[in-house]
Structure 1
Amino acid sequence: MRLLPATCLALLSTLAPSLSAAESRLPVVVELFTSQGCSSCPPADAMLADIARMDGVIALSLHVDYWDYIGWPDSFASPDHSARQEAYARAAGERMVYTPQIVVGGQDRVVGGDAMAVMEKLHAHAGAVTPVDLRARCHGGELRIEAPPAPLPGPLDVQVVRYRPEDRVDITGGENAGLSVAYHNIVTSWRKAGTWTGEEPLAMTVPCEGSDRAVILLQEPGPGRIRAAAKAGR
């Protein structure tokens, strides 16, 4: 089932919050755990393309490596992505991981092929605000991350995510043999750049080489709830 971007955007915009001077709108962060070797994943990959075009949403595609053994090694897969999904499972007290799976806001886990359930979670998160005025800019090979002091429930991990906007893969083996699949917002690296308590201004500079785009996430350890997020300008 494909989502209609205009319809989705209309649903999300109905919950746009009224912001105080000390608040910013919190983007809805959507993480899709997927694999080129998973026969159930192409519909979820297509749905992520629609989600990625919606205002107020940061959509990321994380390819896992644990299906590589069934006949097609995923060209975007990383054991780091598999480890992140496993960490989410442990935080939720779950023992199994699967694809496709979507995690919304670092909190809610949804079967990635269930479009209605995904939309319900997007709608639920669309009204969230944050006290963090997070800014990021990539220029001259450096990514500058800044935010003024803010009241936080505890220290947050500063996550730097690099991603490729789009690529297409002709799959010639495994469960999806014969398919040509377009992937969107493909995560190419994910690293923790530091920790921030909110007591002092956030001012951090990390390398930002190459053409991949960048997103900054401030997330509770665990991984847990995402408290702030921003795409890096150029």
Structure 2
Amino acid sequence: MRALLLLGALLAPAVQAATCSAVSGDTRNRLLELYTSEGCSSCPPADRWLSQLPPDSGVVPLAFHVDYWDRLGWRDPYAQAAFSQRQRARNSGPGWVYTPQVMLDGTDFRTWHRGLPARSNSPAQVGLALTLDQTPERVDVQADSRFSAPVAGRDATLYLALVENRLSSKVTAGENAERTLHHDHVVRQLVGPLDPRRALHSFKLLPGWKAANLEVAAFVLDAKGATLQALARPACP
């Protein structure tokens, strides 16, 4: 049944398909990762910066809330131990982690507060397409990648993320006690590595998540963790 729904989304009229699909362009979009926590007093400026990025900045922004600040008395409701582990893995060379940390295409980017570097117009080595099918309980995703050359797809992996915007918390303990914090691009679920040439996944929506504020992001990484292509679009209405 689920396969039929996905097939129906692919064969739907063009007007409908345009509302529930996205295709990357001829240039490469960059992956921007923010590792943050509501328990970290220096993180709110980075959270605001991420929220204010213009949509034409050429990046796919993702906020990963880590859990290692929870010990200070405030449990970040968006934090996951898996995201702390991801940050450590992404920093496997230096061997340390900190917040807020911004990574651009898998590389530590400490000058984020000065703005992003000029948008790259380098040709993309991979084209990425997303097709979504949404019900009140779940978001079904099909992602397809097409590599310009076999070497470009060697050992490449695909990740899919379900992201929520317009979140807020009134913090009552820890370093940000008595502050109301606002967040966008917060990763709710991350799956991967997947086969980039075709992947199907169903994200189950949990109580309290607002479907109108959800996005789906996809990104393809090479064997060294660098971004080959990234793409995001709002979930279907």
Give the structure-1-normalised TM-score.
0.77
Residue identity in the other structure for 1:163: V
Q: Which residue of 1 aligns with 2:121?
A: 127
Distance 1:128 1:65 in 2: 36
Q: Structure 2 regions of 5+ residues with no counterpart?
A: 1-24, 206-210
Matched length: 198
For the pair 1:50 / 2:52, whether they are aligned, the reply is yes
Give CA-to-partner distance per residue, 1:202-232, whole Å, 9 cap, x none.
222211444332111111245x101011124
Moved beyond 4 Å, runs of 4+: none
Match of 2:228 in 1: 227
Amino acid at match of 2:123: V
- Alpha-carbon deviation of 1:193? 4.8
Q: Which runs of 5+ in 1 are unaligned?
A: 1-22, 197-201
CA distance in 1, matches of 2:75, 2:191: 23
CA-CA distance at 1:100 after TM superposition: 0.3
Residue 131 of structure 2: aligned partner: 137
Distance 2:90 2:54 in 1: 22
**149 and 99 in structure 1: CA distance in 2 versus 1, 3 angstrom threshold:** closer
Corresponding position of 2:18? none
Change (3 A) 1:53 1:173: farther
SS at match of 2:127: coil
Residue matched to 1:167: 167
* Structure 1 position 28, deviation (Å): 2.2
State the alpha-carbon separation in 1 of the partners of residues 191 and 110 from structure 2.
25
Does residue 61 (structure 1) correspond to residue 37 (structure 2)? The answer is no
Distance 1:227 1:110 in 2: 18
How do residues 12-27 of structure 1 correspond to structure 2 at under 5 angstroms?
24-27=26-29
Shift of residue 81, structure 1, vs aligned partner? 0.8
Instruction: Tell me how far apart the structure 1 counterparts of residues 55 and 118 of structure 2 sit (CA, whole Å).
Output: 18
Deviations 1:2-34 (A, max 9, x none): xxxxxxxxxxxxxxxxxxxxx721112211000
**Contact 2:29-2:231 within 8 A present in 1 as well:** yes
Q: How does 1:24-103 map to 2 (within 5 A)?
A: 24-51=26-53, 53-90=55-92, 93-103=93-103
What is the match of residue 3 of structure 2? none
CA distance in 1, matches of 2:37, 2:62: 13
With over 3 angstroms needed to count, the CA separation of the structure-2 counterparts of 1:142 and 1:31, relative to structure 1, is same
Is contact 1:61–1:185 with CA below 8 Å preserved after alignment? yes
CA distance, structure 2, for counterparts of residue 111 and residue 101 of structure 1: 7
TM-score scaled by structure 2?
Answer: 0.76
In the alignment, residue 140 of structure 2 is paired with which amino acid? Answer: E
Q: 2:146 aligns with which of 126, 140, 148?
A: 148
Percent identical pairs in the alignment equals 25
